[in-house]
Amino acid sequence: MTLNGVHVPLITPFDEAGAVDLGVLEELAHQVLTAGAAGLVALGTTAEVTTLSAAERSQVVEVLTGVCGRRGAALLVGANTAEELQALAARRSVVAALCLVPPFVRPGEDGVVAYFAALAAASPVPLVVYHVPHRTGQDLSTRAVRRLAAIDAVIGIKYAPGAIDGDAVDLLTDPPQGFTVLAGTDELLAPMLALGAHGAILASAHVATAQFLALAAAFHAGQADQARRLGNQLRRLAAALFAEPNPAVIKGVLHAQGRIPNPRVRLPLLPAAATSIDAAVHHLDATTAGRYARA
């Protein structure tokens, strides 16, 4: 299985009372898929998943399973325990689970490989490793990623390094056969695609879906000059969208567009400052030629 294309890790919209707004979630899912996204991610970091109850997580997956089933789109679901993985068995739209490298404990590369081998043995669906060392505290060498790729059920990686170093170049230019590398650092999307990333999982693609798709298409078509210009614009947009803890600014922009009823986030996150939202809207308008003006 290859997970090419741009996948959007959806936010969790909340209503005025603070409950999950499932209707708005469904609308957002349809919007990004209509814009051309290859698939969705449920219960990722962008979804504020640690603040959701078990019942809310189940409701979110139910809604997005339905949307992806009707649209023929891929759905990845964040899951990090055997119990969470086994709950995906009956979800036909779920093509893989997105599993985070164990955070905080820093188990070392041998521990990470053993952990994913155990998850793979318990999982009814394939696994995509979520490697984001600035959040987990655990870095992985290319050698470790190749060991993970050798586990039968591990089909890819959301690769979100803080910088493109020698390990990143090695992995992106020479990935394991049949193993999908998805760019996961929004600001580094263009160079990661240029080096060979198969696609991406991008929170920024909530608000400029078509442009991110165009960037990926330009690289895959060998249109380097066009890709460089668009990539720089999208880099600036991504930086503005991540100027405060994710997804506060993204929610602020979606609210400014009239696509969600409010920009509410749950503690420990706080709403983004108006100046951050305005800056992101400015970059968005510059990238999309004003297509998404404020409502």
* Confidence category of residue 293, pLDDT binned at 50, 70, 90: very low
Task: Give the relative orientation of helices 224-241 and 248-256 as an angle to the nearest 10 degrees.
Answer: 100
Q: For the chain, give the percent of residues with pLDDT over 70.
A: 97
| Cβ neighbours around 64 below 10 Å, total | 29
- For the segment 207-219, the average pLDDT, to the nearest whole number, is 94
**pLDDT score of 6 more than 50:** yes
**pLDDT score of 246 more than 70:** yes
Contact 161, 138 (CB under 8 A): no
Report pLDDT for 292: 38
Measured in whole angstroms, how far is the alpha carbon of residue 19 from the centre of its chain?
23
* Confidence category of residue 89, pLDDT binned at 50, 70, 90: very high
Catalytic, 115? Answer no
Instruction: Give the angle subtended at the CA of 160 by the CAs of 24 and 227, to the nearest 5°.
Output: 85
Collect all residues with Cβ–Cβ distance below 8 Å to 165 and sequence separation of at least 6: none
- For the segment 19-31, the average pLDDT, to the nearest whole number, is 98
Q: Which of 266, 216, 263, 208 is nearest to 238 (CA)?
A: 208
Collapsing DSSP to helix, strand or coil, 42 comes out as strand
Alpha carbon distance 4, 18 (integer Å): 35
**pLDDT score of 294 more than 50:** no
Catalytic, 251? Answer no
- For the segment 24-31, the average pLDDT, to the nearest whole number, is 98
Report pLDDT for 1: 56
Q: Which of 115, 158, 251, 292 is catalytic?
A: 158
- For the segment 61-65, the average pLDDT, to the nearest whole number, is 97
Kindly list the domain boundaries of the chain, sorted by start residue: 5-218
Contact 130, 101 (CB under 8 A): yes
Domain 5-218 has CATH 1.10.238.10: no
**pLDDT score of 295 more than 60:** no
Report pLDDT for 260: 97
pTM: 0.94
Query: What is the DSSP code string of 109-141?
Result: HHHHHHHHHHHHHH-SS-EEEEE-HHHHS----
Collapsing DSSP to helix, strand or coil, 103 comes out as coil
- For the segment 126-155, the average pLDDT, to the nearest whole number, is 97
List the single range of 145-159, 166-180, 216-230, 241-255 with lowest mean pLDDT: 216-230
Q: Which of 115, 130, 159, 292 is catalytic?
A: 130
Measured in whole angstroms, how far is the alpha carbon of residue 171 from the centre of its chain?
19
